[in-house]
Amino acid sequence: MNCKLFCIFVHQIRKHTKAMIEKIQELITEVKALQAGTAEEVEALRIKYLSKKGEISMLMNDFRNVPADMKKEVGMRINELKTLAMERINNLRDAVSKAEVAGDDIDLTRTAYPIRLGSRHPLTVVRNEIVDIFSRLGFTLAEGPEVEDDWHVYSSMNFADDHPARDMQDTFFVEAHPDIILRSHTSSVQARVMEQQQPPIRVICPGRVYRNEAISARAHCFFHQVEGLYIDRNVSFADLRQVLLQFAREMFGTDTQIRLRPSYFPFTEPSAEMDVSCTICGGKGCSMCKGAGWLEILGCGMVDPAVLEANGIDSTQYTGYAFGMGIERIANLKYQVKDLRLFSENDVRFLDEFRNA
């Protein structure tokens, strides 16, 4: 290469390098003024300036053409630009992230007035109290399906084939499946427990049950029960009475008295209905107890040996007792609610009365 051509080449290189320096200075000014309102905008800026095909990478690729005596100056300027771009984009990313977090705390669809906290349903309050009392007496919680088969609801509980409870007038059947029903009592849970474990058994079984009844102030097509079962060696009726007395006094007060009246249930023998002394008049007689001084709350009895045998338990070795009560009935007595329908109508005015229960 002759001298003239060399001089022209050097001149062109230096001219290109000066253009690079001007470009770097323009980018520095541009980077200092960068703004972004969203994470997507920040990412677009990062790609424009810091990606492999970004502005700074293009300058780095062109750095090889810078004359040796100017490399130091140009290199320092490119590093300055790169550092400034990284800091600016990171600051924008942090600012956008903080703004999004702060924005998450504001729900623009929410009503302007403060939202009132809810409370437990009165039936839930009573259910939990019943379960808690029996838990302290050694009973464990057991639950089962609401859609059941005939065996667990009736046959395993010693109901005769022609028992009225099996009729459509009393039980809800699943269409096209005559042996599948909505359970009419939580005794089906007891049957499942007896199938799966051998004594000693001590369980409490709360749950929703269904019966084909006309809805009124005193009846509903669905309601809630709690049933208990205790099976072991040498269990007696005296054990049953003492447990129920303890429950009544913890639920209704230490002065509560109980009485047991002979009755009949297919799954217990002997069977009894249990009354408690009226919680309003203390047994003296009032409108709540219709002047009798007593209020019926549950049925109970010794487990029939036929039930034990049907569920795989040796009735010659073990005895047991069972009891069952309606949660609505207990809630009625505890809170003096006279219309059963109120528990399922979701009237906020009614539910507000139990806010502190």
Query: Do 312 and 248 fall within a single domain?
Result: yes
Q: Is the pLDDT of residue 169 over 70?
A: no
Across the chain, mean pLDDT equals 85
Query: Do 34 and 153 fall within a single domain?
Result: no
The pLDDT value given to residue 16: 73
Q: Give all strands (DSSP E) within the chain, no chain letters.
A: 140-141, 147-149, 173-174, 177-182, 201-210, 222-232, 258-265, 268-277, 294-303, 319-326
Q: Which helix (H) or strand (E) holds 24?
A: helix 3-32
Angle in degrees, CA 58, 62, 63, rounded to 5: 115
Residue that terminates a domain, selected from 104, 133, 158? 104
Angle in degrees, CA 73, 78, 84, rounded to 5: 125
The pLDDT value given to residue 316: 94
In a domain, 88, yes or no: yes
Query: Do 98 and 150 fall within a single domain?
Result: no
In a domain, 49, yes or no: yes
Least confident of 79-83, 109-113, 194-198, 215-219: 109-113
The pLDDT value given to residue 258: 92
Residue that wins the pLDDT comparison between 79 and 245:
245
Tens of pLDDT, residue by residue over 96-130, are 877 766 555 666 777 767 777 778 889 999 999 99
Confidence of residue 142 (pLDDT cuts 50, 70, 90): very high
* DSSP letter string, 338-355: --GGGGGS--HHHHGGGT
Order of strands across the sheet that contains 294-303:
140-141, 201-210, 222-232, 319-326, 294-303, 268-277, 258-265
The pLDDT value given to residue 216: 81
In a domain, 109, yes or no: no
Residue that wins the pLDDT comparison between 167 and 51:
51
The pLDDT value given to residue 178: 74
Residue that terminates a domain, selected from 50, 69, 104? 104
Query: Do 99 and 209 fall within a single domain?
Result: no
The pLDDT value given to residue 116: 73
Residues above pLDDT 70, as percent of the chain:
89
Query: Do 310 and 233 fall within a single domain?
Result: yes
Query: Do 188 and 323 fall within a single domain?
Result: yes
The pLDDT value given to residue 102: 59
In a domain, 332, yes or no: yes
In a domain, 183, yes or no: yes
Tracing tokens 């809810």 back to the chain, one arrives at 118
Query: Do 48 and 194 fall within a single domain?
Result: no
Q: What is the DSSP letter of 155?
A: G
Number of domains in the chain: 2
Name the 3-class secondary structure at 1: coil
Query: Do 171 and 241 fall within a single domain?
Result: yes
Confidence of residue 323 (pLDDT cuts 50, 70, 90): very high
The pLDDT value given to residue 21: 81
The pLDDT value given to residue 59: 79
Query: Do 136 and 73 fall within a single domain?
Result: no
In a domain, 151, yes or no: yes
Tens of pLDDT, residue by residue over 230-244, are 999 999 999 999 999
Query: Do 76 and 215 fall within a single domain?
Result: no
In a domain, 117, yes or no: no
Residue that terminates a domain, selected from 104, 138, 165? 104
What CATH number does residue 279 fall under? 3.30.930.10
The pLDDT value given to residue 308: 94
Q: Is the pLDDT of residue 166 over 70?
A: no
Query: Do 89 and 155 fall within a single domain?
Result: no
Confidence of residue 299 (pLDDT cuts 50, 70, 90): very high
Q: Residue 48 belongs to what domain range? A: 3-104
Q: CA Rg, the chain, in Å?
A: 40
Query: Do 93 and 225 fall within a single domain?
Result: no
- Please state, in angstroms and rounded to a whole number, the distance separating the CA atoms of residues 202 and 139: 5
Tens of pLDDT, residue by residue over 16-29, are 778 778 888 888 88
